C-alpha cells in the first residue's frame, strides 16, 4: 500500500493519503515486523503456506455471487421501500454480472485443474 497509486474506480475511489515523509517510517517498521516473523518462524518451525491467485479468486467468487443476489430488487425490500419497476431496470444488469462471475469461476476451475 505504501507505493500503490490512487485508484479511480467506478463505485469507489482509493486514495493513497500516506504522506511521503511517513512512508519510510512505516516501511522501516514493516521490515522489522518481517524480521520478527522470520525469527518466530525459525524458532517455532512454522511452515510457509503457498497461496495461489487462482485459489484466492476462486474462493471469493461465492461471496461476490451472494452480494449480487442480495442486490436484486426483490431482496432490497428488507432495507425499505423499493421503487416500482426497479427490478426491471436493475435485475438484468445484476444477472449480466452474475453470468460473468460464473464464467470467471469456470475459467478458474480450469486453471486449478478441476
- Estimate the share of the chain in helix, then strand, then coil, as percent rounded to the nearest 5: 65, 5, 35
d(C-alpha 31, C-alpha 47), whole Å: 20
pTM of the model: 0.73
Query: Where are the chain's structural domains?
Result: 7-43, 53-111
The model's pLDDT over 49-107, given as tens digits with 9 standing for 90+, comes to 999 999 999 999 999 999 999 999 999 999 999 999 999 999 999 999 999 999 999 99
CA dihedral (13, 14, 17, 20) positive or negative: negative
Size (the chain), residues:
114
Amino acid at each position: 500500500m505504501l507505493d500503490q497509486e490512487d485508484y479511480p474506480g467506478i463505485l469507489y475511489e482509493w486514495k493513497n493519503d500516506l504522506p511521503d515523509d511517513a512512508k519510510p517510517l512505516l516501511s522501516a517498521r514493516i521490515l522489522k515486523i518481517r524480521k520478527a516473523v522470520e525469527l518466530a518462524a525459525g524458532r517455532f518451525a512454522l511452515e510457509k503456506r503457498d497461496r495461489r491467485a487462482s485459489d484466492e479468486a476462486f474462493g471469493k467468487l461465492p461471496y461476490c455471487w451472494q452480494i449480487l443476489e442480495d442486490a436484486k430488487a426483490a431482496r432490497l425490500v428488507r432495507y425499505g421501500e423499493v421503487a416500482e419497476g426497479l427490478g426491471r431496470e436493475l435485475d438484468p444488469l445484476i444477472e449480466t454480472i452474475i453470468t460473468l462471475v460464473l464464467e470467471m469461476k469456470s475459467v478458474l476451475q480450469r486453471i486449478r485443474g478441476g
